Amino acid sequence: MGQHNNDQKESFSLQNRFTAYLLIALKRKKRDYLQKKSRIETYEFTTDPLSVQFAGSPDNRMSPAVSQIEDDALMQALAQLTARERYILFQRVLYGSEYDDLAADLNSRYGSIATAYHRTIKKLRKKLQGGRK
Amino acid sequence: MNFKDILTQAQHGSEQAIAEVMARYKSLLLKESVCRGLFDEDLYQELCIILLNCIRNFRI
């Protein structure tokens, strides 16, 4: 019986070691995979940004306004922003939301929302000027 | 059959044992394959490959 117990204990500890080993490998792979994916998302954009980028966005209210945009350069610049940046931008520009409301909405602080908004505007300007050369 | 035997057999190339290990760890792999709240099939496949590599490389 004692022997059997020891065997079982050893097997469990082996399984624990294997699980720990596997978990580390999984975490690394996942990190690499996500990094690669986000890199691809940053540098490449789909030919139809509307269908992909905005379909899954948390706020679908922005869609009608966005579909009115006919400027391709602006469309591409918008597609390159992150979902959070786009959300802040649209809420601020199209619906005139206050930073305070947005901060509460996104679980963030006034300052970081304001900074994010101004950076987004700056980014858009830079991209649009770059495209106009 | 305890885990050590299964793992040993899997390392020696028994497909049944490998399938058993895969079945035991499937839920973990599924959990890890969720990214931004969505199940990512590509990621799941990558993680399955990692599991197979781990079975082969693990030193008992």
pLDDT tens per residue across all 60 residues of chain B: 788 899 999 999 899 999 999 999 999 999 999 988 889 999 999 999 999 999 999 987
Q: Looking at the 3D structure of chain B, how many domains does it have?
A: 1
CB crowding A53-70: b at 16 or more within 10 Å, else e: bbeeeeeeebeeebeeee
Provide the shortest C-alpha distance from residue A119 to chain B (in Å): 24
Which chain B residues are Cβ-neighbours of A23 within 8 angstroms?
A: 28
CA A73 to chain centre: 22
List chain A domain ranges.
1-44, 47-132
From A11, A26, A29, residue closest to B3, measured CB to CB? A11
Structural domain including B18 reads 3-57
- Tell me which of A86 and B31 has the higher pLDDT: B31
- What is the CATH topology of the domain spanning A47-132? Arc Repressor Mutant, subunit A (1.10.10)
Confidence bin at A70 (pLDDT 50/70/90):
low
pTM above 0.90, yes or no: no
Strands B34-35 and B38-39: antiparallel
- Interface confidence, given as ipTM, is 0.90
